[in-house]
Amino acid sequence: MTQPSGIPHDLNLTEARPTFVTHLECAMTGEIYEADTPHNLSRVGRPLLVRYDLDGVRKALDKAALTARPQDLWRYRELLPVRRTEDIVSLGENATPLIPLPRLSEKLGSGEILVKEEGRLPTGSFKARGLVMAVSMAKAFGIRHIAMPTNGNAGAALSAYATRAGIRTTVFCPEDTPEVNISEIAIQGSDVYRVNGLIDDCGKIVGQGKEEAGWFDFSTLKEPYRIEGKKTMGLELAEQLGWEVPDAIFYPTGGGTGLIGMWKAFDELEKIGFIGSKRPRMIAVQAEGCAPIVRAYEAGEEHAPRWEDAQTIAWGVRVPQAVGDFLILRAVRESNGYAMAVSDREITQGLAEVAQTEGLLLCPEGAATWAAYKRSLAEGRIGKHERVMLFNCATGLKYPLPRAEQSLDRHQPIDYARFG
């Protein structure tokens, strides 16, 4: 995907285009909810999914029209919920690159390995996709105060976009959230609090404070529009691959919004005639210290009970319980995929291996997908001919890195032979 020449850079943000949202639907029961009004969960406490007039989209949008648009996530506006250009909140959500790992592929004797490098987005993570959509809809609804629990990157994205939109935000983080995330959230305008608990403990504070504090709950999947923003990962990668899909996608899975969103995207793309019926196998990657989805998958269950004493260096997937657990498991099973947990040791080793072999610095969650792919290949769960997509969900620069200890004393003789 290259930027078309002579096209205004902000065309997708300013040009009036038709919109096709028809209603919202409970992901569990199918109950219909009115569009264009704010919602949290459905009456049975499950996520709401945005539905579109896809026949209308098919008539209004073709591949040639997309080619002529700037390369940002707003190019897909016919498949997005924001109706008015004046409600779009943007910090420059450009398409993220697909980076091949040819040396590692050769080393393993495998098929093509591609990394979707989401660290290039505003605030340095794929959380920008979901939060830019959710905040734009909050602006459209006139919401004035938003609260959210976060392990770091989602709070940073919320803080940036809500400040851009003039919306007040209050964010709650586990007390061991990396300092860089806390500082980022604070400097971008949020009231941020450390909580002596995990992300679901923070979520309870958000939920319990709705009435008394008057905020709108932006917890993962407790509003309908973060899925629509994360959906653009699936739309974008299909376009980048010439309207094909990879054989398998390895996705770091905490709340699972992106995995759910991509599965939705592929369904919508087929219904508007952009792709065929082939689907990638969806592999949900978790850490051994917090693997509720893996446990439920292996037990054949539809829901994933809370994981007690969750611990991992991959903070983004340290989610003890996901409200959309059944949607994650449904996508995994329908795609003939699976759920896999990797150890913190494998994550650390994988991060170093990719950086030292390919020059690509992954975040721990991204390194978890590499570790899962490598083990899957060794176990025969992925074929050596298959093209796979790994998701690096944030820039590795936002995470602690091993200290480099070598030094030189310029006042002492230097043995230059050591550098040979």
Question: Which one of 168, 200, 217 terminates a domain?
Answer: 217
Give a yes or no: residue 280 inside a domain: yes
- Examine the domain organization and report whether 305 and 158 are in the same domain: no
Residues in the chain: 420
- Examine the domain organization and report whether 333 and 231 are in the same domain: yes
Q: What residue spans of 39-115 are helical by DSSP H?
A: 54-60, 63-67, 102-108
Give a yes or no: residue 134 inside a domain: yes
DSSP characters for 22-58? EEEEETTT--EE-SSS---S-TTS--EEEEE-HHHHH
Write down the mean pLDDT value for the chain: 96
- Report the C-alpha gap between 293 and 291 in whole angstroms: 6
- Examine the domain organization and report whether 44 and 70 are in the same domain: yes
Under the banding of pLDDT at 50, 70 and 90, the label for residue 3 is: low
How many degrees, rounded to 5, is the angle at CA 96 between CA 389 and CA 113? 20
Give a yes or no: residue 415 inside a domain: no
- Report the C-alpha gap between 198 and 312 in whole angstroms: 12
- Give the residue carrying structure tokens 């992901």: 27
- Examine the domain organization and report whether 106 and 231 are in the same domain: yes
Give a yes or no: residue 2 inside a domain: no
- Examine the domain organization and report whether 362 and 386 are in the same domain: yes
**Which residues touch 147 (CB under 8 Å, ≥6 apart)?**
169, 170, 171, 172, 206, 209, 210, 213, 215, 216, 217, 218
- Point out the least confidently predicted range of 25-29, 32-36, 201-205, 403-407: 403-407
pLDDT tens profile 235-266:
999 999 999 999 999 999 999 999 999 999 99
- Examine the domain organization and report whether 200 and 160 are in the same domain: yes
What the block records as the tokens of 215 is 């905020």
Under the banding of pLDDT at 50, 70 and 90, the label for residue 420 is: confident
CB 380 within 8 A of CB 105: no
- Examine the domain organization and report whether 339 and 377 are in the same domain: yes
pLDDT confidence of residue 4: 65
- Examine the domain organization and report whether 391 and 255 are in the same domain: yes
pLDDT tens profile 297-332:
999 999 999 999 999 999 999 999 999 999 999 999
How many other C-beta atoms lie within 10 A of the C-beta of residue 145? 14
- Examine the domain organization and report whether 145 and 199 are in the same domain: yes
Bridge partners of 216, per DSSP, are 146
H or E stretch including 148? Answer: strand 145-149
- Report the C-alpha gap between 403 and 420 in whole angstroms: 23
Pairing of β 48-52 and β 281-287: unpaired
Give a yes or no: residue 297 inside a domain: yes
Give a yes or no: residue 403 inside a domain: no
What the block records as the tokens of 103 is 């040396």
Give a yes or no: residue 51 inside a domain: yes
Question: Which one of 159, 183, 217 terminates a domain?
Answer: 217
Question: Which one of 182, 217, 252 terminates a domain?
Answer: 217
How many degrees, rounded to 5, is the angle at CA 184 between CA 179 and CA 186? 95
In this model, does residue 6 exceed pLDDT 80? no
- Examine the domain organization and report whether 245 and 391 are in the same domain: yes
What the block records as the tokens of 334 is 């329908």
Asked whether the CA dihedral 340, 202, 395, 224 is positive or negative, the reply is: positive
Overall number of domains in the chain = 3
- Report the C-alpha gap between 162 and 216 in whole angstroms: 12
Give a yes or no: residue 92 inside a domain: no
- Examine the domain organization and report whether 118 and 131 are in the same domain: no
Indicate which CATH number applies to the domain containing 339: 3.40.50.1100
Backbone angles phi, psi at 363, to 5 degrees: -85, 165
Q: Which domain holds residue 146?
A: 127-217
CA-CA distances (angstroms) from residue 94 to 3, 97, 122? Answer: 10, 9, 9
Kindly state the average pLDDT of the residues 107-135.
Answer: 97
- Examine the domain organization and report whether 231 and 108 are in the same domain: yes
